[in-house]
């Protein structure tokens, strides 16, 4: 069954530390548990406040979040990861779901207080490693073309825009649904990262 289209991805990609920074990470990445699920919608809502800085997207700050049952399904599938502090409290998450030979990212969010520490990047790496372990061949998502912490962030992590001519039915359906929900078609894109076989 096709999931509802993911909300625009929210993470601190544009504020990550430079690659040469050696400061210790103030978080740990681990698979999410059912005990984490209830906290994730509020975490996403907090992360969405970043859109207040973009006038035409400010309405997303008060938009819907990924439903709790969707998070729970991702946790059951072992395709949800959280970044937690030293008291095991979630600071960010990535929820995804396998479709065919791809892992599709439904949502990635990091609370404002934890942004700028590379958490989004490390959540993404955990998801890619998890996809490899499942024998999947790629990671996909849909996102905003120009929002700095969306497509530009993913491009820096090795993702490429999937042109319309190369999109499969699943990606075309998600993008079409986003347009039907009011997003400008030219503002959205699909992206993919091809994965090497698991070692």
Q: pLDDT digits over 31-75, tens only? A: 999 999 999 999 999 999 999 999 889 888 888 899 999 999 999
Q: Is residue 24 very low, low, confident or very high in pLDDT (cuts 50, 70, 90)?
A: low
Q: Is residue 3 very low, low, confident or very high in pLDDT (cuts 50, 70, 90)?
A: very low
- Whether 27 contacts 83, CB under 8 Å: yes
Angle at 9 (CA atoms; ends 108, 188), nearest 5 degrees = 150
Tokens of 133: 């372990």
Res. 7: pLDDT tops 60 = no
The whole-model pTM stands at 0.87
Number of H helices, E strands in the chain: 6, 7
Mean pLDDT of the chain: 88
Q: Among candidates 145, 153, 175, 28, which has minimal Cα distance to 93?
A: 28
């Amino acid at each position: 069954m096709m999931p509802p289209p993911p909300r625009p991805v929210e993470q601190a990609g544009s504020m990550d530390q430079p690659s040469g920074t050696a400061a210790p990470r103030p978080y740990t990445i681990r698979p999410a548990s059912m005990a984490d699920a209830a906290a994730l919608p509020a975490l996403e809502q907090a992360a969405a406040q970043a859109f207040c800085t973009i006038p035409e997207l400010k309405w997303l700050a008060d938009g819907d979040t990924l439903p709790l049952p969707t998070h729970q399904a991702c946790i059951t599938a072992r395709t949800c990861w959280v970044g937690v502090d030293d008291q095991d409290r979630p600071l960010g998450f990535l929820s995804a779901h396998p479709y065919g030979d791809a892992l599709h990212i439904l949502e990635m969010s990091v609370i404002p207080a934890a942004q700028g520490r590379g958490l989004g990047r490390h959540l993404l790496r955990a998801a890619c490693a998890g996809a490899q372990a499942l024998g999947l061949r790629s990671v996909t998502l849909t996102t905003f073309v120009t929002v700095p912490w969306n497509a530009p962030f993913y491009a820096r992590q090795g993702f490429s825009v999937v042109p319309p001519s190369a999109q499969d039915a699943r990606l075309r359906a998600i993008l079409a649904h986003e347009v039907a929900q009011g997003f400008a078609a030219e503002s959205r894109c699909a992206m993919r990262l091809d994965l090497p076989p698991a070692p």
